[in-house]
Structure 1
Amino acid sequence: MTKQQAGNPAETSRDDDSQMVSVEHFIGKVVRENRTNQGLTIAELAEQSGLSRGMVSKIENGQVSTSLDSMVNIARALGISMSTLFRNFEGREGNAQHVKAGKGMEVVRRGTTKGHTYHLLAYDQGPVKLFEPFLITMDDEAEIFPTFEHPGTEFIYMLQGKMEYRHGSRSYLLQPGDSFTFRGSVPHGPERLIKLPIRFITIIMYGQTQGGDT
């Protein structure tokens, strides 16, 4: 422990307490964001919190394990509560995927040659594909419709147009706002296009098996 640290054992360096590194960096990030959002300089925050500029800089850069007293003083100087400093600390980062409107990847599937346009709305799901969401467009009433069969469960949500959709021996009228869920292993597919263009979202949920074409 250095002479500087000896005066306040609670504020040790991150090298001495590696388990606190994630906490230090998280607190530092929150402090820096709140300070800059309020248009404060490090010097101004230091003055208002009663800490040195060097200490505030170290806190923001995650270089020290901050004492409770110092955190209280910083929170008061920033006008935030202690709970705000830790609000999202236990939150999981996750691997969310955001596909902007009109940016879904156009892919080739079995129905592509029959006039279906497929835009994949999520991808790179790992080695085991659990689901596939598509935006499907059909705008040619002269299409010859293939029959699909695949593992898993399929969900359809109609956005535009009107069509008759066959599943097994039954035919269903699908219009905007309708949803339709069925077992993918039973032969299925569009039977008659009534009002064009037709656009619908379809999600194929495979569970633990790898999916086939649709």
Structure 2
Amino acid sequence: MAKATIGEKIKKLRKDKEISLEELSKNSGVKKDLIKDIEEGEIIPSLAPLIKISRSLGVRLGTLLDDTIEEGPVIVREGKAGKVIHFSGQEDETSESHLDFYSLAAGKVDRHMEPFIVQVEPHKDKFKLSSHEGEEFIYVLEGEIEILYGKEKYHLREGDSIYYDSVVPHHLHTRYDKPAKILAVVYTPF
């Protein structure tokens, strides 16, 4: 399962670099208990803590997400990526996935952007905003989404897009309790 694989990679990188849980927590700003739960596959993390952890470990976000390495271009036909990565929309604690990420560049070496097709499922959780370094581009393929961005709220429907700085606290979710599908491109500086 993807969440265990990501956790195992974090744990291996941390141990290879001789970094304790406490050090990684301090350096990344991610709670120690959250890192431990991610490493043990107990929770499904959001992108925000994964980006913070990857930067603290000195690796690209893709290093945590990829299974194989591709030197040349990566092609995904008809938007049908083979591997799905389940993320929550919450940074701290959750075991439910509301966002299914289909990577469109899995394995591409040294990439700086992470393009995904994301299936966004409705949920009734309290929306907690999170932030991380980088930028995001969102294009709505199907349905409608709502993005809380700082103190603003944006409603996007099919064909709409938004480009924003990820350092501003934000949260993306469906609107009207109906699923949506988006193209998301996440840029994280390395």
TM-score by length of 2: 0.52
Contact 1:163 1:195 in 2 (8 A): no
Structure 1 match to 2:147? 165
* Counterparts of residues 171-210 of structure 1 (less than 5 Å): 171-190=153-172, 193-194=175-176, 196-207=178-189, 209=190
Uncovered stretches (5+) of structure 2, i.e. residues with no partner: 1-70, 90-94
Counterpart code for 2:141: L
**Distance in structure 1 (CA, Å) of the matches to 2:145 and 2:87:** 20
Change (3 A) 1:191 1:134: closer
Structure 1 match to 2:105? 122
Cα distance, 1:109 vs structure 2:
3.1
Q: SS of the residue aligned with 1:173?
A: strand
Identity value in percent: 25
Structure 1 match to 2:36? none
Cα distance, 1:110 vs structure 2:
4.2
**Distance in structure 2 (CA, Å) of the matches to 1:191 and 1:103:** 22
Structure 2 match to 1:96? 73
Change (3 A) 1:106 1:114: closer
Contact 1:151 1:206 in 2 (8 A): yes
Which of 80, 83, 91 lines up with 1:105 in the alignment?
83
Change (3 A) 1:160 1:105: same
1:140 has 2:104 as partner: no
Which of 131, 135, 142 lines up with 1:153 in the alignment?
135
Change (3 A) 1:146 1:100: farther
Higher relative contact order (CA 8 A, sep 6+): 2
* Counterparts of residues 42-57 of structure 1 (less than 5 Å): none
Q: SS of the residue aligned with 1:172?
A: strand
Greater C-alpha radius of gyration: 1
Change (3 A) 1:117 1:146: farther
Alignment RMSD: 2.4
**Distance in structure 2 (CA, Å) of the matches to 1:195 and 1:175:** 14
**Distance in structure 2 (CA, Å) of the matches to 1:198 and 1:125:** 27
Q: SS of the residue aligned with 1:98?
A: coil
**Distance in structure 1 (CA, Å) of the matches to 2:123 and 2:86:** 20
Q: SS of the residue aligned with 2:175?
A: strand
